[in-house]
Chain A
Amino acid sequence: MSSGRDETMRYRAHFAVWNEIVRAREPAWMQAQREAAFARFEALGFPTTRQEEWRFTNIAPLLRASFHLATTPAPLPEDDWLTPYRAWGAHHLVFANGHFVGEVPANGHPPRFFARGIRALLQEAPHLVEPYLRRPVEELPHAFIALNAAFLTDGAFVRIPRGAVVREPIHVLFLALGQQEPLIVHPRNVIVAEENSQATIIESYVSLDDSHHFTNAVTELIVEENAVVQHYKVQREGRAAFHMAAVRIAQARMANVFDFSLALGAALARTEITAILEGEGADCTLNGFYWARDQQLVDHHTVIEHVAPHGTSREFYKGILDDAARGVFDGTIIVRPGAQKTDARQVNKNLLLSTEALVNTNPRLQILADDVKCSHGATIGHLDEEALFYCRSRGLDAEMARELLTYAFASDILQEIAFEPLRRRVREWVLMEWPDGERLTEML
């Protein structure tokens, strides 16, 4: 598709503008790295549906839109946009259109971790982030990641020091606010959990209005030996938004990661999660829930790569597709030759609520070691007619019965959200989408 190539041209102008702005405020290696990334992006061009990885996800609507680079943070509105998250007792790092605008610490003791905006660090203390920004992710042959690396708007740098147990969740909140022009932002987050540390990170992408915008995010999670990390990605962008995100997880020996991806918003949303279990005995859980309606397209591509022996991975994704929505789930498990005694399980279950809704689910196993346990399963189903009848025979009307059973389908995956205040919120967000939401909320 040549239009993809033409599109890359548009970004050249952005790139010049952005370089002008940040040149004096970042070290030379960053400059060079961004230049290289942009060259890589130009060489790659945007993906097309002829590429296996993008077969079911046509980004043409994204290419048709003409985005402007968000070079400054937008002023935040007067109303309290933090309200939905107050009960979390979290430490909030807030970004407006991709730029760091401030933090709201959790009450009480000073934080036992280090957190700053990446752009501020690149200007003031680049040596602190250098080891984490000069990593293989910068070299990946992936157009959107290259684009993110080329621009690198801003993002959170969080380091949990060795042995620290951080109880309060660290909430990295990306707020999108409409401006005159549709905006594009390229957030980059780096989370480092040092040896024996423990933390919960919540990464939220939220629109404060229904503007057109494009979020192209990359998050790196570096989880060192025996560290325990819960990472939630909460995507609730507006229905006119485009959302591309890559989450790259590297796990050292005995590192334990629980990752949950929630995808409720955007017109077109794709999240790619890659977990590499580099150290022996690493434990990785990738869970997720997606719910798409109208014309939404929601895509999850996950890769779990077992490199070392005795690794465990559990993957459980559930999705609900309604109206003319499309879902894509692509889950790869790779077991490298040395990764004996790997124990990997993957399950993807989908519920279609309309005849037009569609989902493509594709499990892939590449097992190159012989002493391993691997399993996968995928299902696509409709609401059970008998269960609907059961509810109605108890006096519930048809609509209520449908909503109740849809909720029942989602209940076990939502139960996986270990951080209870978030679980409660997510349940509300899901229920409130329905006309009978309030009645349902009372019931559950």
Chain B
Amino acid sequence: MNGAALLEIRNLRVRVEGQEILKGITLTVRAGEVHSIMGPNGSGKSTLAQVLAGREVYEIVEGEVLYDGEDVLRMSPEERARRGIFLAFQYPVEIPGVSNLYFLKAAVNAVRKSRGLPELDAMEFLALARERAKLVELDESLLQRAVNDGFSGGEKKRNEIFQMALLEPRLAILDETDSGLDIDALRIVAQGINALRHPDRAIILITHYQRLLNYVTPDVVHVLYDGRIVKSGGKELALELEEKGYGWIAEGVIGSVRT
């Protein structure tokens, strides 16, 4: 643990539609670490995740983000993906008419190509996909279906983890991948995440509940509140938040602003 800094966010301020959503985030994630970001609705968790993955609708007001020492904010979303940043979407997008299998084959090959690896042919990819599908107990019929089209909420989340397992990112950001899952699905998702844990990789888990953290033990827990990280701590912090809600933190923040 505690390898080199894989991700360094420095005083990141982000605006959308004229409104500042992230108000100065500073965060360092080292290779091998799992960070959890918790926070109430609308506090900016998804905004942070999407900015890291390169969503263009967000305006960077200030700050910088280094990934592996390089300025990531200048890279296109696809370049970030090819360099190993992966975002599991809070709301995965449906793409009718495009089979999951072929979509992911194109994705995997785009990543491989950029790393100078030979592209996988249909047979090789199918073998890989089957193996990874097992990992997240994804029904093989979902491989043939159109991307997320008509998938249940749980199937969509599992499909995100499946994609992650295929793309083998170095930095995985999971935006509420645990929300809305029953306990069995949650265990499967956790299993997928744990399988990815590796000294060279880092994971950011965005979640509302500490439930997932029973299965995936984070190194650090951060509280995002109104666009700022207002508290960081060990995994006990997640339990405390679950018990007491965010009220006490809010008071603390308001209190500290007043004093």
Contact = CB atoms under 8 A, between A and B. Distances in A.
Interface of A: 384-387, 389-398, 400-401, 404-405, 407-408, 410-412, 414-415, 439, 442-444
Interface stretch (B91-99, B129-137, B191-199): B91-99
B151 interface: no
B97 A411 contact: yes
Contact of A443 (B93, B98, B114): B98
Nearest to B53: A393
Given A394-B167, A396-B78, A389 B56 contact: yes
A144 to B, nearest CB: 35
Interface stretch (B36-44, B100-108, B215-223, B224-232): B100-108
Interface in B5-61: 50, 53-57
Given A395-B81, A396-B106, A390 B98 contact: no
B55 A389 contact: yes
A60 to B, nearest CB: 38
Given A415-B97, A443-B98, A444-B99, A396 B110 contact: yes
B76 A398 contact: yes
Interface in B66-117: 76-78, 80-82, 86-87, 89, 92-93, 95-99, 102-108, 110-111, 114
A404 B98 contact: yes
26 contacts: A385-B56, A387-B93, A389-B50, A389-B53, A389-B77, A390-B93, A390-B95, A392-B54, A392-B76, A392-B78, A393-B78, A394-B107, A396-B106, A397-B76, A398-B76, A398-B78, A400-B106, A404-B103, A408-B96, A411-B146, A412-B96, A412-B97, A443-B98, A443-B99, A443-B103, A444-B98
Given A408-B98, A410-B97, 9 more contacts: A389-B53, A392-B76, A392-B77, A393-B77, A395-B82, A395-B167, A396-B106, A398-B76, A443-B98
Q: Interface size for chain B: under 10, 10 to 19, 20 to 34, or 35 or more residues?
A: 35 or more
A198 B199 CA distance: 67
Contacts, number: 92
Given A392-B54, A443-B105, A405 B95 contact: yes
Contacts of A396: 78, 106-107, 110
Contacts of B98: 404, 407-408, 411, 443-444
Contacts of A385: 56-57
Contact of B95 (A389, A398, A404, A415): A404
Contacts of A442: 102
A412 B150 CA distance: 13
A70 B4 CA distance: 77
A45 to B, nearest CB: 45
Contacts of A390: 89, 92-93, 95
B106 A439 contact: yes
A392 B111 CA distance: 11
B93 A386 contact: yes
Contacts of B103: 391, 394, 404, 443
A442 B106 CA distance: 9
B177 interface: no
B207 interface: no
Nearest to A405: B95
A444 B77 contact: no
A384 B92 CA distance: 13
